[in-house]
Amino acid sequence: MGKKVIINENTFKQLMASKMLEESNLTKSEVVSIVKDTLKNDTQTKKDIEKKVKELVAGAVNMLFKTLWQRRNFYEDEIKK
C-alpha cells in the first residue's frame, strides 16, 4: 500500500506549474512574456477585464451604500447633536 502525502494548496500549485512548464518546453519568463503580449494586443481581453473591474467596483459601492444606509442612525444622531 502506498504512502499518504499531505501537501498544502500552495505547494500543489507550484508543483503543477513546474510540471506544466516542463511539459510545454517553455521557461517561466517566456510564459510571462506571452501573457503580457496577449493582454496588450487583445482588445477582447481588455474589454473582459474592464467589464469584471466595473462589476467589482459596482458591487463594492453598492455594499458601501447599503452599510451606510443600515447604520445611518448611528452617525445621524452624532451629527444632529
Cα–Cα distance, 49 to 38 (Å, whole number): 13
* Residue range 21-43, pLDDT digits in tens: 888 888 888 888 988 888 788 78
Global pTM reads 0.44
Per-residue pLDDT at 56: 95
Q: Would the pLDDT of 61 be above 70?
A: yes
Buried b (16+ CB within 10 A) or exposed e, 34-73: eeeeeeeeeeeeeeeeeeeeeeeeeeeeeeeeeeeeeeee
Cα–Cα distance, 65 to 61 (Å, whole number): 6
Element (H, E) at 25: none
